[in-house]
Amino acid sequence: MGLVTVGGTGMAANHKRPLEDISAIARRLTWKSNLILALIAYVALHLAAEVKLQHPVPIDRIGGYVLKQLLITMAMFGQYILPAALLIAALVSLVRFRKQQSLYEGVALSQDIAALTSLAWPEFELLLAEYFRRCGYSVATTFGGTDGVVDMRLTMSGERYLVQCNQWRAYKVGVRPVREFYEEISAVGAAGGYFVTSGEFSAEAAEFAGGLNLLLIDGKKFLRMINDQRVPAKVDREVAPVEKVMATQ
């Protein structure tokens, strides 16, 4: 009995995993991308569901016939289920995008560091994602992965950059998390990275990052960068590829 129970659980988990993977991917896409994928999925699966198999079937081809019929049946249901899931993901992404823009505009009008320190961690991550998006980066984020070393992955001109953001209110960010983040940058071969906090960095952390393809951005600097968003020259200076920023410091 125990073996049957374990096996059944494992099979259920295996069946759920593809759906979970699709859901995770959809959450990372923009609402426009999800809409386009929903349309493509419906058309492709609808065409597959309309396929008519020839009858009768020779006995030596019965296996292939059963497999094709199974795929057609899956397409019949999938032509509604998958597009619906993608449409829901598009709606969620659109709501998140609107919230992200509204949050950014609110902080951009403030000169007080409390505009950053008062944010909850997910809001701080949304704010940072919107900043990099407006600077021309393609942003991929987990939105909520507070335990990970990497919170965002940026792409610009074929180069990859990693981002870690921390909502530190009462403490300075020490050298240990900065070192771990840099090790991740080196391990994946990224062009550089940005470590952003609403608080401050310790002197040891700043010393460690000196000369590396890693830019430390504390709360005051981040707020200034947001306020300077309307000045292209300042924006380009702050978020240029890390190695160029370090070369000019």
For residue 170, count other CB atoms closer than 10 A to its CB: 6
Q: Where are the beta strands (DSSP E) in 23-73?
A: none
Helix pair angle (62-108, 31-49), 10° resolution = 170
pLDDT for position 26 = 61
3-state secondary structure 216-241: EECHHHHHHHHHHHHCHHHHHHHHCC
pLDDT at 230: 54
Ranges of beta strands (E only) in 101-219 are 138-141, 152-156, 159-166, 172-173, 192-197, 200-201, 214-217
Predicted local distance difference test score (pLDDT) of residue 89 = 83
Q: How far apart are CA 138 and CA 155, in angstroms?
A: 5
Quote the Cα angle for 157-162-167, to 5°: 135
- C-alpha 222/C-alpha 113 separation (Å) is 9
State how far Cα 160 lies from the chain centre: 13
Q: What is the pLDDT along the chain (249 residues), one digit of tens a residue?
A: 333 333 344 444 444 555 555 555 666 677 788 889 999 999 999 999 888 887 777 777 888 888 888 999 999 999 999 999 888 888 887 887 787 777 787 787 777 788 888 888 888 888 888 899 888 898 887 644 444 678 889 999 999 999 998 876 657 899 999 999 999 999 999 999 999 998 899 999 999 999 899 999 998 899 888 888 755 444 444 445 454 444 444
Q: Side-chain half-sphere of 86: how many Cα atoms within 13 Å?
A: 21
Which residue type sits at 90? A
User: Torsion angle of alpha carbons 25, 182, 235, 224, nearest 10°?
Assistant: 110
